Amino acid sequence: MTATTVLGDLLPAMEMHELVDQAVTRAGERAWSLGDLDWASLRPERLTEADRSAVRFITFVEDHIPGYLSHFLEAFPVADAEQELERFGFNREYFRFLVAWAGDEERHASALTRYQIETEMATREELLVGLAEEGRKKFTLPYEHPVQSFTYTLVQEKATQLFYRRFLDVVSEPFLKDLLGRLARDEARHFAFYSNLVGAYVARDGAAAIPGLKDVIATFRMPLADTMKGYWRWSLNVADSTSYDHTEAYDSVVRLVRGFVDTPGEPSVDDLGDFVQAIRRVR
Ligand SMILES: [Fe+2]
Ligand SMILES: [Fe+2]
């Protein structure tokens, strides 16, 4: 991405600094650890087959953090003396967010992995081998502009937050209920950062930002969708059992754009809204 990225595709480092500062401070205030969880309260007998299937599924998704983080560190490098100072400044700020975020996601993966082991859904050995099998596959995002990568992540964070909320409503195992609440709150925090970040671009570029965002929604796939065998079937089953629909997350992009591009009757804003409605009808 960096080879073709022009500096104008990045926000000024100072502006990025403020957004990141807010997010990282909040991350520090809301942090929790695996030790805070009441592992003695586990009631595996209350898990349904559908619950177990969903837990396996989200463990794969959360466990993909090494690939996801590596992608961003490659796309926004922080160890390259040849790059312009302003570019380094932006990347350096983003790095501060990325490490805090990766810490959250790593905790999600670790908590779910331990959950599977403690509830005897899987042995440690078979689980770690299975996760490694998927985790080693390459993760990339096809987008040309940084704001598109940020929009992708915004949608994906919103989608996971929505999913955890829905799952929490149908699950009766008390430990998992508590854990899902924590995961959903963390994802909401991640979403808030990307929402502010993409919002800053939309505030700057106005309606000109919309075609790029539309492209992201048109091609959106959850991480793993293209690499994991049986992903689509599995994700549809999981979605069915929790009444979850990831296309709901697209609405957050429309709301964000409407919040910034408030020129009444701006055709590209209405077009984006109609487009999202159309996608939601067919899925
Ligand atoms: Fe997560
Ligand atoms: Fe997240």
- 79 CA from centroid of ligand 1 (Å): 27
**pLDDT reported for residue 111:** 98
pLDDT tens readout for residues 9-61: 899 999 999 999 999 999 999 999 999 999 999 999 999 999 999 999 999 99
Mean pLDDT of the chain: 89
Q: How confident is the model at residue 264 (pLDDT cuts 50, 70, 90)?
A: low
Least confident range of 4-8, 77-81, 114-118, 224-228? 4-8
- 165 CA from centroid of ligand 1 (Å): 13
Dist. CA 163–CA 180, nearest whole Å: 9
Average pLDDT over residues 104-125: 97
CATH code of residue 227: 1.10.620.20
Q: How confident is the model at residue 96 (pLDDT cuts 50, 70, 90)?
A: very high
Average pLDDT over residues 63-84: 91
- Measured in degrees and rounded to the nearest 5, phi and psi for residue 191 equal -60, -45
- 183 CA from centroid of ligand 1 (Å): 6
Residue with tokens 């967010």: 97
Q: Which domain holds residue 57?
A: 7-282
Is residue 2 a part of any domain in this protein? no
**pLDDT reported for residue 282:** 60
**Would you say residue 126 has pLDDT above 80?**
yes
Q: Which residues contact 223 (CB under 8 A, 6 or more apart)?
A: 61, 64, 67, 68, 139, 156
Is residue 237 a part of any domain in this protein? yes
Q: Which residues have C-beta under 5 Å from ligand 1, the single-atom ion?
A: 62, 105, 108
- 260 CA from centroid of ligand 1 (Å): 28
For 220, other C-beta atoms within 10 Å of its C-beta total 19
Is residue 178 a part of any domain in this protein? yes
Is residue 1 a part of any domain in this protein? no
Is residue 115 a part of any domain in this protein? yes
- 57 CA from centroid of ligand 2 (Å): 15
Virtual torsion, Cα 210, 215, 220, 224, nearest 10 deg: -120
Least confident range of 66-80, 91-105, 162-176, 223-237? 223-237
Q: Which ligand does the CA of 60 lie closest to?
A: 1
* Count of structural domains, the chain: 1
Amino acid 130 reads: G
**Would you say residue 226 has pLDDT above 80?**
no
More confident residue, 237 or 99: 99
**pLDDT reported for residue 54:** 93
pLDDT tens readout for residues 172-206: 999 999 999 999 999 999 999 999 999 999 888 88
Is residue 15 a part of any domain in this protein? yes
- 160 CA from centroid of ligand 1 (Å): 7
Is residue 110 a part of any domain in this protein? yes
- 186 CA from centroid of ligand 2 (Å): 6
- 267 CA from centroid of ligand 2 (Å): 32
Is residue 191 a part of any domain in this protein? yes
**pLDDT reported for residue 2:** 47
